[in-house]
A and B are shown apart, each in its own frame.
Chain A
Amino acid sequence: QKEVEQNSGPLSVPEGAIASLNCTYSDRGSQSFFWYRQYSGKSPELIMSIYSNGDKEDGRFTAQLNKASQYVSLLIRDSQPSDSATYLCAVNPSTTSGTYKYIFGTGTRLKVLA
């Protein structure tokens, strides 16, 4: 089992819709979770971090964390064509907490159709 799993996609949504991106992780003791956006040919850009169960909202983005089920998701409301990118989930596992080391998922490619 991979430590951080994401559906590779592509996930296609129409402009204005909600895009839902999911990520599961294997280390139950993980404490820190991050979502990055990566445009083609560019480096990853941090969108959100989440540490506690529940929802965290930032503009059009909402991160959701459920530690009991070991999943974290990212919702993008009012999706725009400019949101088309690969979204990477990253986890700081309990075995490395305090070291800032991340394990990345393979990413989900999102396509927002105009």
Chain B
Amino acid sequence: SAVISQKPSRDICQRGTSLTIQCQVDSQVTMMFWYRQQPGQSLTLIATANQGSEATYESGFVIDKFPISRPNLTFSTLTVSNMSPEDSSIYLCSVAGGTDNEQFFGPGTRLTVL
């Protein structure tokens, strides 16, 4: 499976600011996803990061709040904009591809908004 890294691993931010999270993969992958995992909860898909085109957002998530870039097949960023304490969560990128339809997750970014 691909090796996935995320930066930063954690951050503490002030209300109203923005944070950009990076996801780097050691090989080219077709599909990249961004998830949120709030404390004690399961994973919720934010969006699919599409290479060369706009991300596809899930219901309840909008581009203005969570802009996503995917400049190539090994890298993506997720920005959490105008943060509030409700955005405190773990943000995870995942990749998928090949014939087995399996997703593999990065180590996650733990975000705390004060």
Interface residues of B in 1-18 (CB under 8 A from A): 1
**Segment from A14-22, A54-62, A75-83, A95-103 that makes contact with B:** A95-103
**Interface size of A as a range:** 10 to 19
User: A residues within 8 A CB of B101?
Assistant: 32, 49, 92, 100
Q: Are B42 and A107 in contact (CB under 8 A)?
A: yes
Question: Using a Cβ–Cβ cut-off of 8 Å, how many residues does chain B contribute to the interface with A?
Answer: 22
Q: Are B48 and A99 in contact (CB under 8 A)?
A: yes
Give CA–CA (A90, B42) in the complex, Å. 10
Give CA–CA (A90, B102) in the complex, Å. 10
Q: Are B102 and A104 in contact (CB under 8 A)?
A: no
Partner of A43, one of B31, B33, B92: B92
Partner of B108, one of A43, A88, A99, A100: A43
CB-defined A-B contacts under 8 Å, sample of 14:
A42-B107, A44-B105, A45-B105, A46-B1, A90-B103, A92-B101, A100-B33, A100-B103, A101-B33, A101-B48, A102-B45, A102-B103, A104-B43, A106-B41
